[in-house]
A and B are shown apart, each in its own frame.
Chain A
């Protein structure tokens, strides 16, 4: 029983090699893009490529495309909770100065983070 399930799930070699080549190309691409000035889009491109690569690994190498729904729920939960952790923490840091230092006030008064050159406050 276990064997028959396993054989049904064994991928073709060709697919693995194809995924591997794509991953290597994407690594070259993400390194190359870093040398082109895209402004803030550099970060976006780097993350988009990383997400694409990770998805390939999860779907093909980790067989998520054949796995049961439960495993997919686990994957989605892990990602979602990671986003909660990062995203909801960021709601604090990205809005911390808004009320205490409105724009008309900020011109005269240094921000709480005035010592942080380059921060987006």
Chain B
């Protein structure tokens, strides 16, 4: 079974093997599939499409900011651009990317199941997601929306005359897609594990996605109902959030950020899970402190629901509440730091190799650490009053979301690409892309920390001339970053047709997903696997294992 690649050399005729990609053909076999692996591909193409949409909006913004007075778009168009960028990236790329592409593909394989618990529901989630996406694309084509991805009231409910209704509808619908995905994952992880796959043997990617699903299920309904209220207020002009009509706009911010802050952890937690897989595989070591890394995912998920007020320090929120939220926000640093320290400790004395996925992982550690530490700055009330709504905040969350979440996603995609397609991509180009991404990213967002500290506010189409040099650096970095993202699209697509066969386990990694063939058979495994060892049992030679047990 392990020698599928060798067999290919011997006689091509015998190598024709039925797997999930060639078991059925035709557009119907994809659009009506209930196979989690094919649904992962549906999500892959749709989220990549939205990534390009959001990326184009970002590119136009960065182009506009090359000159202090802006040379590309009108200020109002600029407002629409950052709204499109934020909404698309958060709701239609980052939130679904790792869970629905890598998660859908890998959760059943990693726990030794034939599929997720509710395959039809899984497909339904994708259709709901596409409905939401279509709804937002309509918003863009119909003229856009300019409230920012946060839909703050009363701006969104009373003052702007752009397409808030359809945008809110898109967010509302996408919430249900995420809820159903989260529900499916929770049930799958609880009820579908193979014999012997105990909780303490679960790969940490599963733990991270479990924590993510937990947030999906508890946070998404709140944004859904909040969007309903926004739509109702917009249509019926009832003063639920508009102070002129008797409502309280800060209430909207409470409801929004009750969802919004956990949402940030929806974006980063899955990538943290990917990190644990990458670090162990490429340093050939067990994870340092398995229990702590697993528990910290949950710590982050739970604390994330108690920190939302740190987005509102300058909103008129009570100072007492502010103190509470500030303290809780700093607490999140503890589980996050546990993860970073444990990954670093895993590297220590490991036999580290630097294939492309590992380069992304190393990039993640550094960038996430910077993003996380600047988060502690922003959790400090006094400093936040100074830095609120400046480019410092923009840089901070892009270090988390781009430097953290997307780096993790790219790393994971490169790691599991041979498993998903059965083909290997050119390693040289992949390493180069990882390096270019890292350089481009730092050049884009590094200067924004300085810009923010010097007082440049976010969400403006124009700025004072003294900020121009740093803005040009940032825009230049963005173009390098774009190259870093375009390259994988080309060589990964190339690899599907021309890449060499990867074989079942090109990285010699541990985990059930590597024990089956690449691409996997329709039901993942020839027979239900039985798990007898811990996760990441690297370097456990039989002799040593005997010595330990005797």
Where the two chains meet, the residues of A that have a C-beta atom closer than 8 Å to any C-beta of B are 70, 77-78, 81, 84-85, 88-89, 91-99
Contact = CB atoms under 8 A, between A and B. Distances in A.
B318 A81 contact: no
A84 B319 contact: no
Interface of B, secondary structure class, is helix
Which 6 pairs of residues, A with B, have the shortest CB-CB distance? A92-B321, A96-B318, A95-B320, A95-B318, A91-B321, A92-B318
B317 A70 contact: no
Contact of A81 (B218, B254, B316): B218
Interface in B294-308: 305-306, 308
B194 interface: no
21 contacts: A70-B190, A78-B218, A81-B305, A88-B321, A89-B251, A89-B258, A91-B318, A91-B324, A92-B309, A93-B318, A94-B318, A95-B318, A95-B319, A95-B321, A96-B316, A96-B317, A96-B318, A97-B318, A98-B318, A99-B318, A99-B320
A91 B320 contact: yes
B222 interface: yes
B306 A88 contact: yes
A85 to B, nearest CB: 6
A111 B12 CA distance: 83
Contacts of B321: 88, 91-92, 95-96
A24 B288 CA distance: 58
A98 B258 contact: no
Contacts of B306: 84, 88
B496 interface: no
Contacts of A96: 316-318, 321
Interface in B417-468: none
Contact of A98 (B190, B317, B320): B320
A90 to B, nearest CB: 9
A87 B218 CA distance: 16
Interface string B322-349: 0010000000000000000000000000
Contacts of A81: 218, 305
Given A81-B305, A84-B306, A98-B318, A92 B190 contact: no
Given A70-B190, A89-B258, A92-B250, A84 B305 contact: yes
A67 B369 CA distance: 43
A78 B305 CA distance: 13
B218 A77 contact: yes
Nearest to A90: B321
